[in-house]
Amino acid sequence: MGVQGDRIFAAIKQRGFPDPWSAFGECLSWESAYAVQLKQAIDLARKGSDEQLDLDISELFARKAGNLANARKLLDDVLIEYDRSGMWQVLDERAARLDIDDLSERWARGLIEHPFPIALLSLQFNWRYMKEHGVRAFYEMTARYVDDLAANTRRWADAWTAETTTGVIDRVTTVECDLASEEAPMHCDICKKSITALLYLDA
């Protein structure tokens, strides 16, 4: 076991994660980071707001929205590029040959032991989805997910505006929107690793 995984890791060691997928994964990691910063700033503002803190929160919402827009553009561009080049067909053929058990064994080596290995389970889900539905379909689904994250950001920003206007604290929206953003890297930074396995399968 580990033959495909070892070969892919050797390629990662030499080349790193390929763009645009590396950049896309980083965008979705920042989605979570911005949520953490927003929640901290909002918690502070609820204890006693000031003009600079209000500006900081507005800027964080703008950065969060801009980051997701950038992620969506990366996906749009690669969908077009791979359509033109025929790369989706190449990736589908590789997905069909992918040995999920073999890859899982190699990816699991570096993980800290936990009864629910969420990163590994996310990888496995991604590869199974690609095998069953096709790699392009996986990224069409991912694009819809990014759109939903953008809507989540707008909902949070609107709720914060309403809270500052009315003075009525809305903790539930903060909890829900923060949680949605916190989850994003486990889907979309992980998918950077998922497609790298296909891109480097024959390396």
What pLDDT, on the 0 to 100 scale, is given for residue 1?
56
Residue 4 neighbours by CB under 8 Å, 6+ apart: 98, 99, 102, 103, 106, 197, 201
Q: Which two tokens stand for residue 27?
A: 């965008």
pLDDT of residue 112: 76
Q: Which amino acid is at 46?
A: R
Which residue stretches of the chain have pLDDT < 50? none
Question: Helix H segments across 16-169?
Answer: 21-48, 51-85, 87-97, 100-108, 118-133, 135-166
Rounded Cα distance, 131 and 117, in Å: 21
Interatomic CA distance for residues 1 and 7, integer angstroms: 12
CA–CA dist 42, 161 (Å, integer): 11
Tokens read off for 179? 């949680």
Domain regions of the chain by residue span = 3-199
pLDDT at residue 117, as a whole number: 87
Output the pLDDT for position 2. Answer: 62
Cβ–Cβ under 8 Å, residues 196 and 8: yes
* Cα–Cα nearest to 39, from 56, 26, 24: 56
